Amino acid sequence: MELAVDQPFDLAASLESGQAHRWRREGEWFTGVIQGSFVKIRQASFSAQGSARDVVEFRSEPWPEAALLPRLQAYFRLDDDLNAVYQEICQDLRVAEMVGRYPGLRLLRQEPWECLIAYICSANNNIPRIHQMVEKLAESFGSPITLDGLVRHTFPTPQRLAQVSEGELRQLGLGFRARYIAPAAQAVADGSLDLAALAHAPYEEAKAPLMECPGIGPKIADCVLVFSLEKLEAFPIDVWVRRALGEWYFPGQKTPPDRVLLEWARQHFGRYAGYSQQYLFHGRRLER
């Protein structure tokens, strides 16, 4: 089935830009799991009667493609007018340069519970290892799904992970992060951390309860907010973004501490600071 796209969209850049952690490249296809469904998706150019357009094809199990379609549209934030976003964020010349290099890179709207655990796993970590940790959690405590002879697993529920001991998680290679998984799962399972409600709360009100969870600091909270809870003004500051800001915005100076950088960035980049952050992150990381 096809996913209709009528604005800038780069599937590979969006999936490989460090936002989400369950996608694999399988030849021309990407495979991943979205909301309990195993998805294969690819992007190819298509020419019809002399006009070119992008074709995004996908398959899924167990969700029928027609049922998954609106979920994919939401996941890739196709309800965002990316051209309008560009008009605002490209007023910053460095962001405009990154947009020129990676047009169609989109923020993803991920499932909040999985996003929360993935970014707890991101603490003092690199992207390949985060991928491995999240996949091990799914393989160990999720349910198998098969598509075209390939097997992936659903992400475990909060109730399931709340029952897993720190020792079991350490055996999966989570290290010190293991001590934070069960408390976060318990908070979501018993409703004391209501992720769905946070999507409708203002930025500061949504950030505060996330940071009450052990193991969640400002960067992890901002990642969860921008990638799953509709806070496009959030601006996560990790090592790559800190380097980008220091080198490109504060050259020849001592880079301010993260607290100061965050306040500056949210004022400087405005309501779409999260989009600016993702372009700066992706561009600086690929300049290594």
Task: Indicate the residue type of 268.
Answer: H
For residue 245, the Cα-to-chain-centroid distance in whole angstroms is: 21
| Separation between Cα atoms, residue 109 and residue 111, nearest integer Å | 7
- Exactly one of 40, 207, 219, 231 is catalytic; which is it? 219
Contact 8, 104 (CB under 8 A): yes
* Alpha helices by DSSP H, 199-272: 203-211, 218-228, 239-248, 258-269
Q: Which two tokens stand for residue 72?
A: 């994919």
For residue 68, the Cα-to-chain-centroid distance in whole angstroms is: 19
| Separation between Cα atoms, residue 47 and residue 129, nearest integer Å | 39
Identify whether 62 is preceded by a cis peptide bond (ω within 30 of 0).
yes
Q: Is 219 a catalytic residue?
A: yes
End-to-end CA distance of the chain: 37
The catalytic residues are 219
